[in-house]
Amino acid sequence: MHSPELSLIGIFGGTFDPVHYGHLRVAEEIAEMTGLREMRFIPAARPRLRRAPMASLQHRVAMIRLAIQGNSGFILDEREVQRDGISYTVESLRELKQELGDDVILCFITGADAFMKLAEWHSWRELFKLSHFIIAARPGHALATYRDALPRELKEECASRWVSDGNSLKQASSGLIFIAPTTLLDISATVIRVRVAARQSIRYLTPDAILDYIAANYLYSEKG
Ligand code: ATP
């Protein structure tokens, strides 16, 4: 009996306040580069390490739904929405591992900025037992010197985990790290929120459907 083919599943966590083309393009390129079966967007209901998101959870979820419409490989996963308390990535990965079984390899996606702070996350060393990491390029973080720039404790934990090719991720069930040379897009949710508040254009930073949703619901600005 031959073993079934292993599939890689991308897990993209974030506050998505709001979702934008930086997220979407990174997701698309990483899915293509590593042959992901699907990419799950998991909005954090109550992130621990940052201040509360500006838009309500309901709005952030609705915007992700609009943004991924028409892409059958992109999936909205609402598990952190349904869970009480602070949103811990480790809990989501434990649940996913149980639900999806051993034929699936989880790959957690972070931008180069977010991965730098990984050692501040709850039970961060356990994350490597549950998932691989795929780090997306982000302006301000040179990829050539990225590994050396990590904080000491994280650098030591990562030392034996690096792979230089997305195809290597099927060689282990978790714990590898791949830096994906994605297109640099200097777009952030912060810039979008600031521009909306200043009544400046956010066109072409995020899909038109999100633009319309933000305007219709008076998000990120004083009403009127
Ligand atoms: P904010 O400006 O509110 O901090 P953000 O734009 O960084 O938000 P998040 O929802 O916090 O968006 O990000 C979720 C994940 O997506 C993080 O791992 C972050 O590093 C990554 N990410 C966000 N924008 C980009 C981008 N332009 N390029 C690469 N990665 C990105």
Nearest to 111 by CA among 29, 45, 216: 29
SS3 category, 143: coil
> Rounded CA gap, 210 and 197, in Å?
15
Residue with CA closest to ligand 1 atom 20: 111
DSSP conformational letter for 51: P
Q: What is the pLDDT of residue 20?
A: 98
> Rounded CA gap, 141 and 161, in Å?
20
> Rounded CA gap, 50 and 6, in Å?
35
Name the residue of 19, 23, 80 whose CB sits within 8 Å of the most ligand 1 atoms, as the mutation to test its pocket.
23
**Cα 99 to middle of ligand 1, angstroms:** 27
In CATH terms, the fold of domain 7-185 is Rossmann fold (3.40.50)
SS3 category, 110: strand
CA distances from 69 to 63, 102, 207 (A): 10, 29, 11
**Cα 189 to middle of ligand 1, angstroms:** 7
Nearest to 28 by CA among 142, 185, 159: 185
**Cα 112 to middle of ligand 1, angstroms:** 9
Structure tokens at 128: 């490597």
Q: What is the pLDDT of residue 2?
A: 47
Beta bridge partners of residue 177, listed in sequence order:
133, 162
Residue with CA closest to ligand 1 atom 14: 14
**Cα 218 to middle of ligand 1, angstroms:** 22
Q: How far apart are the first and last CA of the chain?
A: 66
> Rounded CA gap, 157 and 155, in Å?
6
Residue with CA closest to ligand 1 atom 22: 111
Q: Which tens digit of pLDDT belongs to each residue from 1-39?
A: 445 588 999 999 999 999 999 999 999 999 999 999 999
Residue with CA closest to ligand 1 atom 25: 22
Residue with CA closest to ligand 1 atom 18: 110
Q: What is the pLDDT of residue 222?
A: 77
pLDDT along the chain (224 residues), means of 10: 76 96 98 96 80 87 97 95 83 95 96 96 96 96 94 98 95 97 97 97 98 97 70
What ipTM goes with this model? 0.98
